[in-house]
Amino acid sequence: MFCWDKLLSEFRKKDGEVASKENNSTKSDRTEIERDYDRILFLSATRRLADKTQVFPMEVNDSVRTRLTHSYEVSNLARSVGTRLAYNHTNLFNASLDDDFIKRNLPVVLASAGLIHDLGNPPFGHQGEKSIGKWFEDLNEKDIHNDFINFDGNRQTIRLISKLHILNNDFGLDLTFGTLSALIKYPVVDDDDGNNNDVESIKYKKHGIYNSDLDLLNDVNDRVGLEYSHRNPLAFIMEACDDIAYSIIDAEDTVKKRYASFNDLIHWLESGLSENPKATREEKKVVKKKFLSMSIRKIKNLEKKI
């Protein structure tokens, strides 16, 4: 069984290097993990997600998702799962752990991870990652580290909140180790040859930490009770909510963009085909002029059922 009082650690990097939390005279009605969510919500990097596209680039229709609206939805789904776990599955948690602590902090740490999970993604998503990596590769300099050639938004997220965003010290956003741990989807790094030093971590598709941030990963793991390359169980939940959000919402945006009708979507789901059937020009007219609003209502109902 996981040690949940460690996994939901309220310890911050600043606590260890500047002053202990016990000596902090400032009292708050919020838990430290609740403070994390508030910091993330008001972060300028969070607002910048509004200018990053989710699927459709250079979109003029403001009802089609951006990275920001996608992140809100992932955050909401993750919070809902956390609430259900905290209230309906108390047998999962340490018997010695305060019930109110779990009910307050578990939903919030998942909401925070969902809100921040795409923060380091460049514009144009994975294509943007490839473009940045190609730029570094084309420099053809021997000292360019593999971290840059295989640029990844997950790594950049950790870098952004732990180093690049400055409050009034050198600790970045200084999130709790509990929140940081739940956020790290790929808790491994590349070595200088672009390979991973840990055999067990081959199961991960990506490397989620820059080599320069390895000390931070080790500090977080020590505090929350995880070994190197072992993912926090809450990271699995956050990633599942990400998958649920984009797989369902992308379908709605496809209908809104008139690339397919609601019936196309249902037919694709029922048949298991990898592509929607091609529509004739007349059928496209029907979808565009008569059935679009009806399709949106139908797909919203479908989303709720799913």
Of 187, 204, 235, the residue that ends a domain is 235
pLDDT greater than 90 at residue 41: yes
Domain that holds residue 130: 4-235
Contacts of 85 (CB under 8 A, 6+ apart): 92, 106
Choose between 120 and 207: higher pLDDT.
120
- 229 occurs within a structural domain: yes
* Nearest residue to 86 (alpha-carbon basis) of 65, 100, 76, 67: 100
Please indicate, yes or no, whether residues 268 and 222 belong to a single structural domain of this protein.
no
In the chain, the percentage of residues whose pLDDT exceeds 90 is 36
CA distance linking residue 27 with residue 251, whole number of Å: 46
CA distance linking residue 113 with residue 105, whole number of Å: 12
Q: Looking at residue 232, what is its pLDDT?
A: 95
Q: Where are the alpha helices (DSSP H) in 117-232?
A: 125-139, 146-149, 153-159, 177-183, 214-224
pLDDT (tens digit, 9 = 90+) per residue, 66-106? 888 889 999 999 999 999 999 999 888 877 778 899 999 99
Q: Looking at residue 18, what is its pLDDT?
A: 46
Q: Looking at residue 63, what is its pLDDT?
A: 60
- 51 occurs within a structural domain: yes
- pLDDT interval class at 198 (50, 70, 90): low
Placement of tokens 């009806």 in the chain: 294
* CA 21 from centre of chain: 28
pLDDT (tens digit, 9 = 90+) per residue, 226-283? 998 899 999 999 999 999 888 777 777 777 777 777 777 766 665 543 444 555 555 5
* Nearest residue to 302 (alpha-carbon basis) of 254, 238, 257: 254
Task: Enter the pTM of the model.
Answer: 0.78
* Nearest residue to 267 (alpha-carbon basis) of 283, 278, 280: 278
Cβ-based neighbour number of residue 300 at 10 Å = 10
Please indicate, yes or no, whether residues 224 and 287 belong to a single structural domain of this protein.
no
Of 200, 235, 270, the residue that ends a domain is 235
User: String of b and e for 171-190 (b: at least 16 CB within 10 Å)?
Assistant: bbbbbbbbbbbbbbbbbbbb
Please indicate, yes or no, whether residues 146 and 262 belong to a single structural domain of this protein.
no
Q: What's the maximum distance between 2 C-alpha atoms anywhere in the chain? A: 73
Choose between 18 and 278: higher pLDDT.
278
Summarize the confidence of residues 155-167 as an average pLDDT: 87
Structural domain tally of the chain? 2
Q: Looking at residue 291, what is its pLDDT?
A: 43
Q: Looking at residue 304, what is its pLDDT?
A: 67
Q: Looking at residue 207, what is its pLDDT?
A: 82
CA atoms within 13 Å, Cβ hemisphere of 236? 5
Summarize the confidence of residues 55-75 as an average pLDDT: 74
